A and B are shown apart, each in its own frame.
Chain A
C-alpha cells in the first residue's frame, strides 16, 4: 500500500476545477467584453447620430418656414431649442448663404466633430432649396456617455460571470468533488483484506462515480482473490521447492544442469561423489569434462545432440579414477528449453560388468572354456564364399554320452567332457577355433585345409587320441568317438550350412555304426542330404501309414524250451509300404519317436495285441503276448492306468500281457522308470528286459529293477557254439538270471543245435526262425498248432 499523502490545496480537485472554470470564464469574459465594448461604442455612436438626425427632423419644417419667411426670430427659437440637447455643440441656419440664426455651447471641442448638414426646402415648392441647417455634435459628451455605457456593460458582464463561476463551482463541488472526495477518503481508510467494500455515494448509483466505485470494488475483489491465489501458489511452490531441494540434495543419483558445452550450472552432492569431480577451492565454476572421462568427446557429443535436436539422450560412459579404478556411469540428459540441459547420473558399473561377463558367457562354454554355438556362429558370421579362406569344420560327437551321463551322473559326464576338451586343446594339433556347441558335440575349425586326403591323417590321429580311455573318479571310461567333416566353401557357404553338413556326416557315422561295421569319421557329401530328405519323406508317409492302417502286427511265437509248447508271442510292428514294400522297425520306430508318433503307435500296438491275444485265449490258445515299449512312451504315453484299462476292456488277466523294455528305459530317468515298472508289476504284469547283453547291460540294473525276464540278444545266439566265448557269456547270463530268480528268453534261435545248446544251458524260453518267423495273426493259429503238436517229440 502506498503511504497516503495529504493533497495540498493547490492540487485539490476543488481548486483545480474552480481555477479552470474561473480562468476559462475570465478569458471568455475578457474577449466578449472587448466585443461588447466595441458593439456598445458603435451602437451608441449610431444612436447619437440617429438622435441628432431625429432632432433635426423635429425642427426641420419650422426651420424651413423660418428660412422661407426669413424670420430670424423663429430661426433663433429653433436653434436655441436644438442646443438644449447636451449632445449638440452648435447649430446654424442659413437662408441661402446668409446666416439666419446661430447657437453654440461654450466648451472646448477636442474631437473632430461630426457635423450633420441638412438642406432646407421651400414649404411651398417641392425641390426648391431655400437654405440649410448645420448641426455639430458635442462629441466629447457623446464619447463620455458611450464610455460610461460600455463600462457599465462590461461591469454587468463580469458581474454575471462571477455569478456563473460561483454557481458552476458550487455545482461542481456538490455534484462531482464532494462524492469523489468522500469516496477517496473511504478508499484511503478501506481495508479490502478484511472484506471491506466502498459505499456508493448517495444519489450516485447510476452516475460515473457510482460506476467507478463499483469498478473499484470489483477490482479490489479480483485483486484480493488474485493475491490469495498467488499466496497459495507461492506457498505450494515453496513446499515443492523444499521437496525438490531435499530430493536434489539427498538423491542417490547425480543430478546436474549444464549447457551444451558441458559448463555446469548446478549439481548435487551425489553428482560430485559419483563423478569424482574435483572439489575446486578457488572457483565454483566446473565443467562436466573436469573429471577423468574415458571419452569426454562422446559425452559432449551427447550433450550437443540433445541440445540441437531438443530430444532426451542417454549413454553409458566409463570414468577412470586416479587410483586406476573404473566406474561406468549412465548419463541421461534432457533439454530444458533455455539452452541448458538437465542430466541424471547413475552408477551402472555393476550392470555393465554383468553385461560384459554375460556377453562373454553368451559366447563361451562355461565348462570347457571353448566357444559355444553362439560364439562359433558369431566368429564365422562374416564368412564369404568368394573372399574368405578355405575352412574345414570338424564335428566331434561322443557315442553313448547321454547314457553315460544318465547312468553316472552329470559330474562324470562333465569330467569326461573336460577330458575330451583337454585332449583336443593339448593334443599337439593346431586348431584355429575350438567350440562345444551342444552336450557332447565339439566343433573344431581348421583354416586353409580343404583336401580330404591331407586332412585324413589329422582326423584319424584325433580320433585315436579321443578314443583312449578316460579316468574319471578313478574309473576308466572308454567312449566311442564319431567325427563329421564339412568343407568351406565346397559344402556350405556359411557356418549354419557347414554345421548341418558336418552333422549329417556325423549322423551317417552314427547310423552306420548302429547298423553295421565301424566308421570313425565321414566327410560330408551331397548324398547325405538326399538321405535326410528321404527320411523326411518317410516321416510324412509314416503319418499317413498310421492313419491308413499300413502298420500291422506280426507275432513271433515264444516257446517253452522245457516242454516245447507255445508259451506266448512277441508282437512286432510291420510296415507294409504300398510302394516300397516292407520297411524295418529299425528305420521307422526311431522315426516315429522323432516325430512324436510313437505314443499313438504304441497305444494302437498294445490295443491290437490285447484284442488279438484275447481272441486267441477265447479260442483256447492259452498264451500271453509281449509288447515292446519304447523309452519315449514312459511314463505318460503308456501310463500303467492306460495299460490296465486296456487289459480290462479286452477282459484279459494281467499275466496275459508282458511289457518288453530295453536298457535305454532304465538308463533314462531312473526313479520314473522304476516307479512305472513297480506299478505294472504290482498290477500283475510281467516286465521283460529286451536286447540284454548289448549296450551297457549291467547286472546292477537287474538288481535294482524288479524284472521278470531277460531276453538274450540274438547277436549272442547267432554266433554261439559250444566252444566259443559267446556261449560262455550266454551261460553266464542264464546262470546269473537263474540266481536272481529271472526267466530267460533266447532270441534268434535259427538252428536245432542252438536250441539244443540253450536247453542244455538251462534256458527257459526261446524264439526265432527255428520255430517260426513273425507271422500275421491269420497265420499264427496254424503255426501255434504245429508247434504244440510237435512238442510231443520235443524234449528228447
Chain B
C-alpha cells in the first residue's frame, strides 16, 4: 500500500512536467476540414466557449463525452487543470445568460469519432487508440 501511495504522489508531481507524454488522448478533426494544427489555447478557447471560430475562418464545434467518462475528466484536468465539477459550474453561469452553449455531448468515443467523420467542423477528443483514417489528429498533449 505504501509503495502505491508514493507512486501516486510521484505521478501527481510529475504530471505537469509530462503533460503530453502522460496524455493518452488526442484531439481529432475531420480531415477534410483542413484544420492543420491547433494550440492548447485554441483547444481551451473552443471547448470552453470563448470562441468557436478558428483562425482559418472555419467554425469549430467541440464534441464532449458524457459526464461519467473517465477520459472526459482526464481531458479537462490535463487541458485546464480543472475537475469536472468546476467545469460544470463554469458552464452553469454561462448557460444562464443563454448566449453560449456547452459542447455537444455524444454517448461514447466511438460516437465522437463517427460524428467527427461526418461533420466537417466537429472536434473531439478520444483515446489514441481510437484514431483511424476517418479522422485526423489536430492536437495532442504530448507535443
Contact = CB atoms under 8 A, between A and B. Distances in A.
Contacts of B82: 124
Interface stretch (A41-49, A71-79, A628-636): A71-79
Contacts of A123: 90
Contacts of B80: 124-125
A236 to B, nearest CB: 118
A217 interface: no
Contacts of B90: 65, 123
A70 B82 CA distance: 20
Contact of A68 (B48, B81, B97, B98): B48
A71 B97 contact: yes
Interface string A62-90: 10011011111110010000000000000
Residues of A in contact with B, size category: 10 to 19
A66 B97 CA distance: 10
Contacts, number: 38
A65 B44 contact: no
B98 to A, nearest CB: 7
B64 to A, nearest CB: 16
Contacts of B97: 71, 73-74, 77
Contact of B50 (A69, A72, A73, A74): A69
Contact of B100 (A62, A71, A77, A125): A71
Contacts of A124: 44, 48, 80-82
A68 B50 contact: yes
Residues of B in contact with A, size category: 10 to 19
Contacts of B41: 125
A70 B50 contact: yes
Interface string B88-102: 001001101111100
A135 B48 CA distance: 27
A71 B48 contact: no
A77 B98 CA distance: 13
Given A124-B80, A124-B82, A69 B44 contact: no
Contacts of A71: 94, 97, 99-100
A62 B93 contact: yes
Contact of A65 (B51, B93, B98): B93
Contacts of A74: 93-94, 96-97, 99
Interface in B47-89: 48-51, 80-82
A456 to B, nearest CB: 181
A84 B102 CA distance: 30
B13 to A, nearest CB: 18
A73 B96 CA distance: 9
A71 B94 CA distance: 7
Nearest to A68: B50
Interface in A93-145: 123-125
A65 B94 contact: yes
B8 to A, nearest CB: 24
Contacts of B100: 69, 71
A71 B49 CA distance: 10
A501 to B, nearest CB: 166
B141 to A, nearest CB: 15
B85 to A, nearest CB: 14
A294 to B, nearest CB: 147
A66 B100 CA distance: 10
Nearest to B82: A124
A264 B26 CA distance: 149
Contacts of B81: 124
Contacts of A125: 41, 44, 80
A73 B93 contact: no
A77 B96 CA distance: 11
Contacts of A62: 93
Interface string B34-50: 00000001001000111
29 contacts: A65-B90, A65-B93, A65-B94, A66-B93, A68-B48, A68-B50, A69-B48, A69-B49, A69-B50, A70-B51, A71-B94, A71-B97, A71-B99, A71-B100, A73-B97, A73-B98, A73-B99, A74-B93, A74-B96, A74-B97, A74-B99, A77-B97, A123-B90, A124-B44, A124-B48, A124-B80, A124-B81, A125-B41, A125-B80
Given A74-B93, A74-B99, A125-B44, 4 more contacts: A69-B94, A69-B100, A73-B97, A73-B99
Interchain residue pairs A-B with the least CB separation, the first 5: A73-B97, A124-B80, A74-B97, A71-B99, A69-B49
Interface of A: 62, 65-66, 68-74, 77, 123-125
Interface of B: 41, 44, 48-51, 80-82, 90, 93-94, 96-100
